[in-house]
Amino acid sequence: MLHNFDKVIDRRGSACVKWDALPPFEEAVDTSDVIPMWVADMDFEVAPCISNAVAERALNPVYGYNIVPPECREAVCSWLSSRHSFDIDPSWLLFTTGVVPAMSAVIRAMTHPGEKVVIFTPAYNCFFRTIRNNGCEVAECPLVYADRSYTIDFDLFERICSDPACTLLLFCNPHNPAGRVWTPEELLKVGEICRRHSVQLVSDEIHCEIVMPGHHYTPFASLSEQLSHECITMNSYSKAFNAAGLKLAYIISDNPLWRSRIARAIDVMEIGGTNPFGQLALRAAYTDEGAEWLDQLNRYIHGNYVLMTEIFEKRLPQFPLCRLEGTYLAWFDCSALGDMPSVEIEKSLLLNEKVWVNNGTMYGKDGFMRVNLAAPRALVSEGLRRLADGLNRLLSERG
């Protein structure tokens, strides 16, 4: 079955963050004609298997408390095994309302206030906030930027991990916002360094299903039995299947003591209640029908990325676009604008060209911008046209 990702859905007025939220600027902004290319939320219809499952359940007019049924655990296990060669036991799973709440519960369970949590920067903005909200310090390990891509400085990473105060690594695989799909060799090196310095390894793998041609996502914990014992994984079907509003994510650990501690943190934080629609959506997504939809989605997003590379090569050669290996989030270099802060670039583009993209400062890297490509091509094309107009305007204004 062919799916129509070109279909434009009018989301304005539906109380969605992407289209209805107001930007955090003092100036009043009329967002009625803004093209939002910021928050990591897709503008595609969900897979029919998901909408059908949710609609069928909605016919039962009682939406009360529910348990996580065994079928939900079995669906996760089957999907990870068949699609990613990652075999887990259903008992290793804990469920919660989202990957960010899961992250907070894991940090609370596995660290003590005042300890340091290592992250590779630039990093997903919630990493900074969640670490600090749980009383820990952020220990940044900057990635190496060269040739429109990022790599890990393993010597620097080892020095940082050698600090006894560093007790946990919060990893992103694939990486948001750098767009890297880490290789097994890179993952093994990270794991070896964590092991040498007794740094707990926690991997956020929510972007794992969006991978560009020629690249292959490897679950961190799948590389060896030892890494399986040493890694806590956080994941969800929601990012790839555009169902974040249904609030369901899962944590994987084969260590019963760690699971007990994390479960206790979930209980204390009261973030364990899931809803029946999220559970049915997960079970529908993790099927052959969901896989077929997902494969087509990946090809479509890659087409949007190809369009962006062509526009940047033709109209924005001064702004290097990082090679996108995974996620639907493109990342580009704005150093051609000199010392103009990324926040000001974001504001200027929004106020003048009516296109909203994310500033790099929120990810710990000024001088870069992040663009969401998960939308129908007509919207992406118009948004990129506005982006090119705006960046060239700023170049001209700065002489």
| Contact predicate 171/141, CB 8 Å | no
Which among 45, 52, 16, 54 has a CA at the least distance from the CA of 275? 54
Structure tokens at 166: 């560093």
Which among 219, 172, 188 has a CA at the least distance from the CA of 327? 172
Structure tokens at 31: 């967002």
Q: How many residues does the chain have?
A: 399
Please state the pTM of the whole predicted model. 0.97
Which among 20, 9, 13, 15 has a CA at the least distance from the CA of 42? 9
Q: What is the Cα 385 distance to its own chain's centre?
A: 25
| Contact predicate 239/40, CB 8 Å | yes
In angstroms, the CA 396 to CA 239 distance is: 38
If you search the block for the tokens 């001088």, which residue do you land on?
Answer: 367
What residues in the chain have per-residue pLDDT under 70?
none
- CB neighbours of residue 86 within 10 Å: 21
Q: What is the pLDDT of residue 31?
A: 86
In angstroms, the CA 126 to CA 235 distance is: 15
Q: What is the pLDDT of residue 27?
A: 78
Task: Enumerate the β-bridge partners of residue 50.
Answer: none
In angstroms, the CA 279 to CA 95 distance is: 10
DSSP percent split of the chain into helix, strand, coil, nearest 5: 45, 15, 40
In angstroms, the CA 150 to CA 327 distance is: 15
Task: Enumerate the β-bridge partners of residue 372.
Answer: 329
pLDDT digit string, tens, across residues 53-76: 999 999 999 999 999 999 999 999
In angstroms, the CA 70 to CA 192 distance is: 35
Which among 173, 196, 168, 202 has a CA at the least distance from the CA of 186? 173
Structure tokens at 397: 């204004």
| Contact predicate 123/150, CB 8 Å | no
Q: What is the pLDDT of residue 307?
A: 98
